[in-house]
Amino acid sequence: MNPRKSVSLLWLPLSLSIALVATGCQKDAPAETEAPADTAAESTEVAPVEAPKAAEPAPAPEPAPGTDAVVVEDRSTPADAAAGFDIKAFEGKYTAGATTLEVTLEGTFTLNDNGATVTGTWSAQPGGKSVLLDPDSKGEADRTVEIVSADSVKLNGATLQRQKS
């Protein structure tokens, strides 16, 4: 195909699109009617035209559970997700081998897993049988801690026991 022909063929749809957009923008304006010749000289005032109301923005989508797709600052207590969850009973230090998990009342945790330290926030999951660990570093994956008993939790298949203070 001749390049000059293809360029000229592109101008036709482009100019039609521009014309449609330009006329579409005037759609909400009141239609102008021509006044009779005798009253045209008397009235030169133009009535103000109200601008169309802007559409309300759609609400933001909810993030998928357990992901960091949308950053949401949660100022609730860690136990708000699970009614009856006892954060005072959950607080403490749990260990198994080279893994240590320390949980605070304020909703923060420190995990030392074979020498690698991860810090972040925790929140009780609905039902109160597990806790989600959300690391501060976005390079780290979220972890789920299963509550086995008042003195033990499961993390990555290992059972961690509460350390008496």
For 98, residues 6+ apart whose C-beta sits below 8 A from its C-beta are 112, 113, 114, 115
Residue 132 contacts residue 66 (beta carbons within 8 Å)? yes
> What's the pLDDT score for residue 60?
66
pLDDT tens track for 110-162: 999 888 899 999 998 888 888 999 999 888 889 999 988 888 999 988 899 99
The DSSP symbol for 137 reads: S
> What's the pLDDT score for residue 164?
82
> What's the pLDDT score for residue 121?
94
What the block records as the tokens of 4 is 């000059």
pLDDT tens track for 20-61: 666 665 555 555 555 555 554 555 666 666 666 666 776 766
Extents of the domains making up the chain? 87-162
Q: Which among 161, 39, 51 has a CA at the least distance from the CA of 100?
A: 161
Position of tokens 């045209």? 40
Q: Which among 120, 116, 115 has a CA at the least distance from the CA of 145?
A: 120
Q: How far apart are CA 112 and CA 160, in angstroms?
A: 12
> What's the pLDDT score for residue 88?
83
Q: Which among 153, 119, 114, 157 has a CA at the least distance from the CA of 138?
A: 119
Residue 150 Cα to chain centre, angstroms: 34
> What's the pLDDT score for residue 75?
44
Residue 92 burial by Cβ neighbours in a 10 Å radius (0-12, 13-18, 19+):
middle
For domain 87-162, give its CATH number from 3.40.50.10090, 3.40.50.720, 1.10.10.10, 2.40.128.640: 2.40.128.640
> What's the pLDDT score for residue 132?
92
Q: Average pLDDT of 58-74?
A: 59
Half-sphere exposure of 144 (CA within 13 A, CB side): 10
pLDDT tens track for 71-123: 544 444 454 545 566 778 888 999 998 899 999 989 999 999 888 899 999 99
